[in-house]
Amino acid sequence: MEVTLKRGDITTGRAGAVVLGILEGGAPLDGAAAAFDRRLSGAIARLRRRGDVTGRFLETVVLYPAWPRAPRLVLVGLGRRAELDAARVRLAAAAAARRARDIGAGSLATVAHGAGRGGLNAEVAAAATVEGAMLGAYRFTAYRSDAGARPLERVELVERDAAAAEAMAPAVARAAGAARATCLARDLANTPGQDLTPDGLAARAREIAGLAGATIEVLGIPQMERLGMGALLAVGRGSPHEPCFIVLEYSGTGSRAGGARSRTVEVAVRPGARVPRRDPRGDTRRDARLRVSPARAPRETPRDTVVLIGKGVTFDTGGISLKPRENMHRMKGDMSGAAAVLGVFSALPALALPFRVVGLIPSAENMPGSRALKPGDIVRALDGTTIEVTNTDAEGRLLLADALGYARRLAPAAVVDIATLTGSITLALGHAAAGLFTGDDRLADALIAAGEASGERLWRMPLWDAYAPEMRGDTADLVNSAAREGGACLAAIFLRHFAGDMPWAHLDIAGMAWAGSERPHEARGATGFGARLLLEWLSRRASAAATPTWGAAPASSAV
């Protein structure tokens, strides 16, 4: 989708649809809505008087004026002025874009909702409008024989004032990058497991890294064996598709030298692309694309390195501890953490980061094959810890254990892992927030603020020492699964062992990675949760100023 910011008069431009926001409460029309009402001889005002247009939050009404420049006019309710904020603007813009898409508009022009009488900062309103429109217009149609109505190909934000348009430009570019990152993460997580195996995920990571100017290494079985990644290797044992460990690095120096750039990465889904299977004779080391040189010795830059870890289980059957059949098809999205990290990397060129960002993606397919990990087996993680496997469906924490052990070698300033880790977090928080686990108060505050600003909320969960005894093993140092009660907290305590003394946070996004019903900014399926949150956090971390970034409201605002 093309996104442009144009200085001019929205009543004179051309678009398949024009979107106008209407406040609830009966106040006179102003700004673009008043200008259009004059051109339509008072038609919008008459509809309001009759009650056909109320401005109620997310209400959408379509008018078809006899006007060749804009044959469709979409009115979207912004709700009451006192309740209007960036989150509501984002949702209203998404609802309007979805309606414009469904009526075949092809393109839309809009003003920044809430920037006039709505009382919002113009840059915040512009960024939220663009972000919402892009998220709302998203559909995953790669496997449909009939893709339905034509997609929205262009979103144009129009601002009359030249100075305001110039001030909006950086925020709009960053918001577009964040929305594209989310849509990329959605595409990856929506792709069936048959077409996105671990080495298929590695291939996509190579594309993204190449376009974003990042370096990448993909470690295959021989390299992981030399490193001692016994936990990750054990998870992938039962699948014909080999596990891998993906290491991405973005130095940030290019952005710092050249300033913030608006270039973002769009990678198309290629349905039906198959990947080589394991050699029928059982040799697990024959995929040449995974036979790469050993990892370079990590550079010790404690103050300059931020590590993002994304769980990359491309399909999770549960292994020998087989999952029930209900909703197992959604387990293609068990790599949503990895998808979020790759989405972040696609958008990093638009940020001027004064630090290095390293992405670690441990990837495997959890299958109940003849060589699969069994309950009671003991594996040794990269840091030497032995783990008794009491539940093969608690495989994600095994992958993250080795990734955290690898991260410790980088001496990072901060580590955040993101994973669809436990069903327990959904029982605790539902589908309103992801769980945040960390012992670092400053890191917790920063991530929570970024979540509120981006609309991807976090709720801090306990990480108490009292949970630790339940994860101690009888025949090994640890068990990978214990009681069902407090399962999300027990999983986080398990991970804390491998994080050691790093400034570390764990995001359990199992309740947020998949939408079971349609919402204005989320179609049913993968949500791409975490990409915008992490971009907001990185952007805030890079800047000492308290100015809003990535289309967010100031930290003091409730978003």
The verdict on whether 256 is a catalytic residue reads no
CA distance 399 to 408: 15
The verdict on whether 323 is a catalytic residue reads yes
Check the annotation: does 316 bind a ligand: yes
Q: Please name which of 114, 123, 91 lies closest in space to residue 23, comparing C-alpha atoms.
A: 114
Angle, vertex CA 410, rays to CA 404 and CA 411, nearest 5: 95
Check the annotation: does 417 bind a ligand: no
Map residue 286 onto helix, strand or coil.
coil
Beta-strand ranges (E) seen in 24-88 are 60-63, 73-79
Query: How many residues are listed for the chain in this entry?
Result: 559
- Provide DSSP, 378-437: EEE-TTS-EEE-S-TT--HHHHHHHHHHHHHTT--SEEEEEE---SHHHHHHTTS-EEEE
Check the annotation: does 311 bind a ligand: yes
Catalytic residue among 237, 397, 457, 532: 397
Burial 172-200 (b: 16+ CB within 10 A, else e): bbbbbbbbbbbbbbbbbbbbebbbbbbbb
Strand partners, 312: 363
Map residue 227 onto helix, strand or coil.
helix
Strand partners, 505: 416
With beta carbons less than 8 A apart as the criterion, state whether 536 and 454 touch. Answer: yes
Strand partners, 245: 219, 362
Task: Count other C-beta atoms under 10 Å from residue 71's C-beta.
Answer: 16
Q: Please name which of 214, 490, 262 lies closest in space to residue 360, comparing C-alpha atoms.
A: 214
CA distance 2 to 20: 20
Q: Please name which of 222, 149, 231 lies closest in space to residue 396, comparing C-alpha atoms.
A: 231
Catalytic residue among 7, 323, 371, 409: 323
- The CA R_g of the chain, rounded to the nearest whole Å, is 24
- Provide DSSP, 151-205: PP-EEEEEES-HHHHHHHHHHHHHHHHHHHHHHHHHHHHHS-TTT--HHHHHHHH
Burial class from Cβ neighbours inside 10 Å (0-12, 13-18, 19+) for residue 474 reads exposed
Q: Which residues are annotated as a binding site for Mn(2+)?
A: 311, 316, 334, 393, 395
Q: Active-site positions?
A: 323, 397
